[in-house]
Structure 1
Amino acid sequence: MADWGPVLIATVLFVLLTPGLLFQLPGRNRVVDFGTMHTSGLSILVHTVIYFGLITLLLVAVGVHIYAG
Structure 2
Amino acid sequence: MNDWAAPLIAAALFAFLSPGLVFQIPGKQRPVDFVNMKTSVAAIFVHTVLYCLFLMLFLVVLHVHLYL
Does the pair score TM above 0.5?
A: yes
Per the TM alignment, residue 40 of structure 1 is displaced from its structure 2 partner at its CA by: 0.3
- Which residue of structure 2 aligns with residue 36 of structure 1? 36
Can you give the 5+ residue segments of structure 2 that lack an aligned partner in the other structure? none
What letter corresponds to residue 62 of structure 1 in structure 2? L
Which residue matches 1:20? Answer: 20
- Give distance in 1, aligned partners of 2:28 and 2:34: 11
Once residues 57 and 15 of structure 1 are traced to their aligned partners in structure 2, the CA distance between those partners, rounded to angstroms, is 17
Q: What TM-score results when the alignment is normalised by the length of structure 1?
A: 0.97
Matched, 1:56 2:56: yes
Q: Secondary structure at the match of 1:3?
A: coil
How far did residue 57 of structure 1 move?
Answer: 0.6
TM-superposition CA deviations, 1:15-61 (whole Å, max 9, x none): 00000000000000110000000000000000000000000010001
Per-residue deviation at 1:12? Answer: 0.4
Alignment match, 1:10: 10
* DSSP 3-state at the match of 1:38: coil
Alignment partners' CA distance in 2, 1:61 and 1:29 = 35
Listed as ranges, the gaps of 5+ residues in structure 1 are: none
Greater strand proportion: 1
The TM-score, its normalising length taken from structure 2, stands at 0.98
